[in-house]
């Protein structure tokens, strides 16, 4: 798909496409996304924040006026869009986690989404986890089957509404979304990413299966983006997961690191152990906007002391050593032809699976070739939902 704005900055374009995609389930309006984007200076993180915040604040104020006047549908819709716009506003600021603008925008995202949830019958939940809690939302359905969902490297539990929760809920599924360690709600409590994701999903399933309306024989797990590696990792070690969706599939998060630093894990780890790697990474960040964002966000979300430390940690995030082969439940792997982040990764995961498996390849002709099919969410989520309905028929 050719960019229609930010032609020289693939990261700004993808994040704009991400918001365009959320139109499908009420997370944006075309005119609001386009006019906000047209005010942004390409490559300027401050400009990105300022313009998205201005749009979010304006939409929030209008939603609040509607609510005060008793116009609940208008208020609900406005709060949902504003939540997504606040999410966008703080997206590129994570190079300095102490930047106060991050918490202002994140608080706006959560506050607006909770206002939407309260108006929509979606329940807020706090899931017990290692002496603290993980934030999430419970959508009570009518069909008996339940889908547990988490995001990946940078997305929030609130954004999962657009990335499948709404689509599954309207089909009758129960849906439980949550933020795990390294993801926005948990990260702000000091919980950083961990590769042994089964120890995250385990407590979530304990919480879910205590609900009397949940059928423990019909529970699926869906992971988005990097969650397409984390969710399979959990499914490999937890037999309570009866179906798995990798949206999109990821076999080895460290593959790009290894390829750039020596070709294999041990060579990459050795190269990254040298202080001179810092200069190499700084140069890469200066010339590649995607790497600049990924390295700064990853350093925070992984609790690493530097981009070098983040990349070293990333080498542990994979489904090798027989982990993928341990998965026994039916598994759906999604793949996007033009995925800038994980090209070839879904196919690698699919190849290593020994369970009942399905690969769906989304194409440019369908407008679905972007990472996680951003821009084609109705199409993608129809296929994912149809697969789940067949599995649990």
Domain count, the chain: 3
Tokens in use for 177?
């979304």
Question: Are residues 326 and 213 part of one domain?
Answer: yes
Decide: 174 and 142 in contact? Cβ < 8 Å: no
Higher pLDDT, 82 or 276: 82
Please indicate, yes or no, whether residues 34 and 82 belong to a single structural domain of this protein: yes
Task: Please tell me which residue in 19, 66, 156, 225 is annotated as part of the active site.
Answer: 225
Q: CATH number of the domain at 67, please.
A: 1.20.1440.110
276 lies in which domain range?
255-314
Q: Are residues 55 and 18 part of one domain?
A: yes
pLDDT digits (tens, 9 = 90+) for 197-246: 999 999 999 999 999 889 999 999 999 999 999 999 999 999 999 999 99
Same domain, 307 and 334: no
- Give the residue-averaged pLDDT of 286-307: 91
pLDDT tens by residue, 236-289: 999 999 999 999 999 999 988 888 777 788 889 999 999 888 888 999 888 888
Percentage of the residues of the chain whose pLDDT score is greater than 70: 100
| pLDDT value, residue 19 | 97
Query: Which residue among 314, 333, 353 closes a domain?
Result: 314
Show the tokens assigned to 77.
């819709």
The predicted-structure confidence for 322-336, as pLDDT tens digits, reads as follows 999 999 999 999 999
CB count, 10 Å around CB of 103?
Answer: 13
Please check whether residues 217 and 271 belong to one and the same domain.
no
Mark whether 306 is an active-site residue.
no
Listing DSSP states for 15-43 in one string gives HHHHHHHGGGGTS--HHHHHHHHHHSPTT
What is this structure's pTM? 0.96
- pLDDT of amino acid 382: 98
Angle between helices 289-301 and 307-314 (to 10 degrees): 80
The reply to whether 18 and 45 lie within a common domain is: yes
Rounded distance, CA 393 to CA 380, Å? 20
**For 97-155, how does the pLDDT look when each residue is reduced to its tens digit (9 = 90+)?**
999 999 999 999 999 999 999 999 999 999 999 999 999 999 999 978 999 999 999 99
């Amino acid at each position: 798909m050719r960019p229609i704005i930010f032609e020289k900055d693939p990261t700004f374009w993808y994040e704009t496409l991400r918001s365009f995609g959320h139109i499908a389930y009420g997370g944006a309006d075309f005119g609001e996304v386009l006019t906000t984007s047209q005010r942004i200076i390409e490559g300027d993180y401050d400009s990105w924040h300022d313009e998205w915040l201005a749009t979010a604040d304006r939409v929030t104020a209008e939603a609040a006026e509607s609510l005060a006047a008793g116009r609940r549908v208008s208020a609900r819709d406005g709060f949902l869009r504003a939540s997504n716009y606040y999410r966008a506003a703080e997206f590129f600021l994570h190079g300095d986690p102490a930047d106060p603008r991050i918490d202002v925008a994140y608080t706006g995202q959560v506050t607006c989404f909770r206002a939407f949830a309260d108006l929509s019958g979606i329940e807020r939940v706090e899931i017990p986890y290692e002496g603290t809690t993980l934030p999430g939302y419970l959508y009570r359905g009518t069909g008996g089957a339940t889908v547990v969902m988490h995001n990946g490297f940078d997305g929030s539990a609130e954004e999962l509404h657009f990335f499948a929760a709404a689509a599954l809920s309207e089909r009758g599924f129960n849906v439980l979304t949550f933020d795990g360690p390294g993801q926005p709600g948990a990260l702000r409590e000091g919980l950083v990413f961990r590769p042994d994701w089964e120890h995250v999903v385990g407590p979530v399933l304990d919480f879910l299966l205590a609900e009397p309306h949940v059928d423990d024989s019909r529970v699926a797990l869906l992971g988005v983006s990097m969650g397409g590696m984390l969710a399979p990792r959990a499914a490999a070690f937890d037999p309570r997961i009866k179906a798995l969706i990798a949206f999109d599939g990821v076999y080895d998060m460290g593959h790009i690191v290894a390829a750039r630093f020596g070709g294999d894990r041990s060579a990459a780890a050795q190269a990254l152990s040298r202080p001179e790697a810092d200069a190499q990474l700084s140069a890469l960040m200066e010339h590649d906007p995607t790497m600049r964002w990924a390295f700064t966000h990853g350093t925070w979300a992984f609790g690493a002391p530097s981009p070098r430390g983040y990349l070293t940690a990333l080498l542990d995030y994979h489904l090798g050593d027989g982990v993928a082969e341990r998965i026994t439940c039916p598994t759906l792997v999604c793949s996007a032809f033009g995925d800038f982040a994980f090209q070839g990764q879904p196919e690698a995961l699919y190849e290593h699976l020994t369970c009942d498996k399905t690969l769906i390849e989304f194409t440019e002709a369908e407008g679905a070739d972007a990472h996680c099919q951003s821009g084609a969410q109705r199409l993608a989520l129809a296929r994912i939902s149809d697969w789940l309905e067949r599995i649990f028929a």
